[in-house]
Amino acid sequence: MRRSLPQQIATAVLKDYLESGVLNSGDRLPSVRELEQQYRASRSTILAALGILEQQGAIVRRHGLGCFVAEDAPRASSMRPPHFLGYISPSTDSELMLRIYEGVEEAARRYDLHVLVASVCHDYNLERKQVARMIEAGCGAIVLSPTTRTPQQLAEDYLNHEFLDFPIVLVDLAYPQHKRPRVVFDNYHAGYDVTTTLLRAGHTRIAIMRLNPDPEAPFACRHYAVEERFRGYCDALRQAHIPLREEYVWTLQSSAFHSDLDADHLERLLALPHPPTALIALEDIAAMSVTELLLERGVQVPEEITVTGFDNLLPARNFHPAFPTTFPDFRKAGELATWLAYSLMKGETLGAITYMLPVPLCNRRLSLKRRHFSREGVGSADA
């Protein structure tokens, strides 16, 4: 198999400077900039190559001084693939990110890899810095769950013009603009299937939450999974010959949807002449939050309004009243992303391959008899 570019350069440095006798134990290697020019490679590639050499015991790094030849440096023929894999997520306290990490860790053990973990606190700029740090630390590849992007960040995304020769596999929140190997979920059919299930249960007035897609909005956020679910929702309505009603689209102004739901918007939904009988929330936490808001206003859930979520989060499993959700296998996504990363570390060429995992429905409870809802009480059956 063809080895990755960092591995090729690591072998070249070993031959050119150590085996050739140009440098001896304790001698300083050329600077990163000099190696960039000599091997015509990017800074990230050179740093990755030096990380490989450090892992193999060929060199040692001294902070602020550079890289030096180690005692008893190994020969090129004894070089092995790097043994460190990076995992970067938007947050380390997210249940979904921990599920992905479980899969990454399990697969990494099979491949004899050690995993370095970093969080970016939902900060795009910190994400880029963490990628650079992982490369400098000697990781042979990175499994990255990207944080959400603003439209401007997506247009200028560093993943499209930096670290292009370093193995990075994207998992979960990956955008089509990222020409990298990626493991994603079929969120289009998740949105479509949830909507179709509600339609079959007799609902015709179905509201949905989404993030603000307007690039000029102060808190615009491109969340590809949410956008795909909305697209599936629209198609399901169209195929059922039900027009999309803008007043049923609950547009949130921030990605912190679970902690900042607009109760006034909910009031406007309930005050409509024909209020919705079902609401598709962004995910389970948002579903629980809006259910609590409805119950506080005397609205019976799911008898008057059925609420659905996504992701089968732990807090939702014992929540009352229970609600339908989805069951994406994030652990499997982590395992698959690690397999792709390991393949890249071995030198395989994968291109911008995409693995799309299904998203089964989890119908904990669904009210089948729909009734009109008004602030005064319950009316006639839903037409």
d(CA 361, CA 342): 31
Class of domain 5-78: mainly alpha
d(CA 186, CA 328): 9
pLDDT per residue over 127-140, tens digit each?
Answer: 999 999 998 888 99
Q: Which fold has domain 84-180+329-357?
A: Rossmann fold (3.40.50)
- Per-residue confidence (pLDDT) for residue 273, from 0 to 100: 96
pLDDT of 374 > 60? The answer is no
DSSP state string for 100-119: HHHHHHHHHHHTT-EEEEEE
The pair of three-digit structure tokens given for residue 236, joined into one six-digit string: 């399901």
d(CA 66, CA 50): 11
Question: If DSSP codes are grouped into helix, strand and coil, which group holds residue 358?
Answer: coil
- Per-residue confidence (pLDDT) for residue 217, from 0 to 100: 64
d(CA 340, CA 353): 9
Break the chain into its structural domains and give their ranges. 5-78, 84-180+329-357, 187-324+363-381
pLDDT of 369 > 60? The answer is no
DSSP state string for 141-204: EEEE-PPPB-HHHHHT-GGGTSSTTS-EEEESS--TT--S-EEEE-HHHHHHHHHHHHHHTT--
Pairing outcome for strands 306-308 and 278-280:
parallel
What's the whole-number mean pLDDT along residues 308-332?
A: 94
Sort 352 into a burial class: Cβ within 10 Å, 0-12 / 13-18 / 19+.
exposed
pLDDT per residue over 239-253, tens digit each?
Answer: 999 999 999 999 887
- Per-residue confidence (pLDDT) for residue 1, from 0 to 100: 44
Confidence of residue 80 (pLDDT cuts 50, 70, 90): low
**Are the folds of 5-78 and 187-324+363-381 the same?**
no
- Per-residue confidence (pLDDT) for residue 82, from 0 to 100: 57
The pair of three-digit structure tokens given for residue 46, joined into one six-digit string: 């050179």
What's the whole-number mean pLDDT along residues 175-202?
A: 94
CATH 3.40.50.2300 holds for 187-324+363-381:
yes
Confidence of residue 290 (pLDDT cuts 50, 70, 90): very high
**Dihedral sign computed on CA atoms, order 76, 80, 83, 89:** positive
d(CA 32, CA 251): 48
Say what percent of the chain tops pLDDT 90. Answer: 58
How does the average pLDDT of the chain come out, rounded?
A: 87
pLDDT per residue over 214-235, tens digit each?
Answer: 766 656 677 889 999 999 999 9
Q: Which position has the higher pLDDT, 306 or 22?
A: 306
